[in-house]
Amino acid sequence: MNPKILIIGACGQIGTELTQKLRKLYGTENVIASDIRKLNTDVVNSGPFEVVNALDFNQIEHLVEVHQITDIYLMAALLSATAEKNPAFAWDLNMNSLFHVLNLAKAKKIKKIFWPSSIAVFGPTTPKENTPQYTVMEPSTVYGISKQAGERWCEYYHNIYGVDVRSIRYPGLISWSTPPGGGTTDYAVDIFYKAIADKKYECFLSSETKMPMMYMDDAIDATINIMKAPAEKIKIHSSYNLAAMSFTPTEIANEIKKHIPEFTITYEPDFRQKIADSWPASIDDSQAREDWEWKHTFDLESMTKDMIEHLS
């Protein structure tokens, strides 16, 4: 039996590609995309789409009943840099949307939840290199605070009510198919657009700011694979560390120059530098690799080549 899937926040950076991949996998009619507004995009036009406010429990419950949903992927969130500008709304959206789907699972109206966490759960006191699965977590951003609280609630609902909720801590995500969405790691997407269009880029982080990153193809695979894994393989019900590569703006710029020799980069760090400084430089994801056989495909070299081919 194919799952009946509802994706909340399907028009966002991850949701867009996740929707397409899930539709290929399970059939278009089994994957209901939803977002707060109906835009003229592939996600909206390529299959069932519903307008839904992630903060409205009744709307979500109605969709679950009408479409006989078994699995929810809750991708709606306010990201790091955007959340800093509107902390109260970020907390409201990031937390209450999660409670809505957790409570639907608690009431046995759905079987399974995917909820994304982030490296933003870590903070300035976390070990920077090879950040362990279990470590000090004192996030210093609104986004990070909401994700850390969300992890605790996911684990609580699993332990107390038996809710099957699965989560991964995404590093910075890089994609050619959707423009940057207001995250601190988004320079690594924007740099490609500017390299191709203008042959130059002004980076909002300093040259040696090293952060964990992942190509979107790998992130989508991880998301689908953790949901496909048998329940007994999922040992962590807060959120799994996930990693692929770590690099600095200098390193990605040098890789781009191999394809666009005239490309130049300058540095003008802004408020996002402080956010980046509070995050890890590299991640230990051995638990995900062990429990549900996670492995990445793309490194900096192969990702850069693929990005430039697609965007050109």
Q: Are 35 and 7 in contact (CB under 8 A)?
A: no
Q: Taking the domain 5-172+215-233, which CATH number applies?
A: 3.40.50.720
Kindly report the backbone phi and psi dihedral angles of residue 42, in degrees, each rounded to the nearest multiple of 5, phi listed first: -55, -40
pLDDT at position 273 is 95
Task: Provide DSSP, 120-151.
Answer: GG--TTS-STTB-SS------SHHHHHHHHHH
Residues marked as catalytic: 143
pLDDT at position 177 is 87
- Say how far apart CA 172 and CA 277 lie, in whole Å: 14
Q: Indicate the domain borders of the chain.
A: 5-172+215-233, 174-212+245-285+298-311
* Residue 284 CA: distances (Å) to CA of 117, 133, 155, 161, 226: 15, 7, 20, 30, 17
pLDDT at position 40 is 80
pLDDT at position 192 is 96
- For 177-201, b/e burial (b = at least 16 CB within 10 A) is ebebbbbbbbbbbebbebbbeeeeb
Q: Are 226 and 166 in contact (CB under 8 A)?
A: yes
> Nearest 5°: CA angle at 50, between 44 and 56?
135
Determine the straight-line distance between the first and last CA of the chain, rounded to whole angstroms: 40
The domain over range 174-212+245-285+298-311 is classified in CATH as 3.90.25: yes
Task: Provide DSSP, 96-108.
Answer: HHHHHHHHHHHTT
Q: What is the DSSP letter of 24?
A: H
Per-block mean pLDDT, blocks of 10 residues, the chain (312 long): 95 93 97 92 92 97 98 93 92 97 98 97 96 97 96 98 98 87 86 96 97 97 98 98 97 98 97 92 98 98 97 92
Contacts of 6 (CB under 8 A, 6+ apart): 32, 34, 60, 63, 64, 67, 69, 71, 72, 73
- Say how far apart CA 42 and CA 46 lie, in whole Å: 6
Tokens representing 100 are 């809505």
Query: Quick one: which H or E segment has residue 214?
Result: strand 211-215
Q: Are 168 and 288 in contact (CB under 8 A)?
A: yes
Task: Provide DSSP, 26-66.
Answer: H-GGGEEEEESS--SSHHHHTS-EEE--TT-HHHHHHHHHH
pLDDT at position 190 is 94
**Strands annotated E in 225-297:** 240-241, 245-247, 264-267
